[in-house]
Amino acid sequence: MTETAGKSAEPRAGGWLLVAGAWIAVGIPLLWGVWMTLKKAAQLFR
């Protein structure tokens, strides 16, 4: 399935690179937050 908009539904050149960049931008802080929480939660299993 094509994931793009418009009648032609042709992906713009570099479109998936932009998608990857956007996900990395939000993913890095989210993963940092998950890591910090996991470190805190690890005390439960000491």
Partner 1 sequence: MAGFLSRERTVAGPGFNRWLVPPAALAIHLSIGMAYGLSVFWLPLSKAIGITQSAPEDWKVSAVGWTFTIAIFWLGTSAAIFGAWLERAGPRKAGVAAACCWAGGFVLGAIGVKTHQLWLLLVGVGVVGGIGLGLGYISPVSTLIKWFPDRRGLATGLAIMGFGGGAMIGAPLADRLIKHYATPTSVGVWETFLTLGAIYFVAMLAGAFGYRVPPKDWRPAGWTPPAQPQKKMMAQGHVHVDRAWRLPQFWLLWGVLCMNVSAGIGVLGMASPMIQEIFGGKMIGAGGVALADLTTAQKAEVASIAAGFTGLLSLANIIGRLFWASLSDTLGRKRTYMIFFAAGAVLYALVPLAGKLGNPALFVGIFFVILTMYGGGFATIPAYLADIFGTQFVGAIHGRLLTAWSTAGILGPILVNYIREFQISRGVPAASAYNVTMYILAALLVVGFFCNLAMTPVKEEHFMSELDLGTMGATPAK
C-alpha angle 41/26/8, rounded to 5°? 140
Q: What torsion do the CA atoms of 25, 30, 33, 37 make, to the nearest 10 degrees? A: -160
Q: How far is the CB of 12 from partner 1 (least distance, A)?
A: 3
The amino acid occupying position 24 is I
Q: Please, which of residues 14-43 interact with partner 1 by CB under 8 A?
A: 15-16, 18-19, 22-23, 25-26, 29-30, 32-34, 36-38, 40-43
Question: Under the rule (CB under 8 A), what is the footprint of partner 1?
Answer: 1-12, 15-16, 18-19, 22-23, 25-26, 29-30, 32-34, 36-38, 40-46
